[in-house]
């Protein structure tokens, strides 16, 4: 399964049970995948969607390879450790990278 398919599956799971994301602020997480370009995870009005391509004004950009992104989506990536060892680079608000990990964990 591709990381895009994994992300779409997670998005559908979140939207089917939005209780954990209902209070989330509207925000955009941009994911720059080293092998295949940019994705956005867009939280808006208690729903989430995946959008292909770069975001116009993301609060945070996570830069990683597809293997680490897949691990993040499965809650098998320690974002702090990945950041400290260079497996994850963050542009913008580092706390939001941790917030994304918390949200993913709730849907495992």
Q: Quick: pLDDT tens for 16-59.
A: 999 999 888 999 999 999 988 999 999 999 999 999 999 988 88
Q: What is the pTM of this model?
A: 0.90
CA–CA separation, 20 and 43 (whole Å): 12
Greatest CA separation for the chain:
35
Domains of the chain and CATH, by start: 3-106 (3.30.1050.10)
Give the pairing type, strands 60-64 and 27-33. parallel
Q: What is the mean pLDDT of residues 94-98?
A: 85
DSSP 32: E
Count CB neighbours of 76 within 10 A. 11
Cβ atoms of 48 and 16 closer than 8 Å? no
């Amino acid at each position: 399964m591709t990381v895009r398919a994994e992300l779409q599956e997670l998005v559908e799971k979140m939207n089917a049970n939005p209780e954990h994301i209902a209070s989330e602020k509207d925000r955009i997480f941009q994911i720059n995948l080293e092998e295949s370009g940019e994705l956005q995870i867009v939280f808006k009005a208690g729903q989430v969607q995946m959008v292909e391509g770069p975001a116009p004004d993301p609060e945070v950009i996570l830069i990683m390879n597809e293997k680490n992104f897949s691990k993040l989506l499965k809650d098998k990536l320690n974002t702090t450790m990945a950041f400290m060892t260079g497996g994850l680079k963050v542009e913008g608000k580092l706390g939001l990278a941790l917030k994304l990990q918390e949200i993913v964990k709730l849907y495992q």
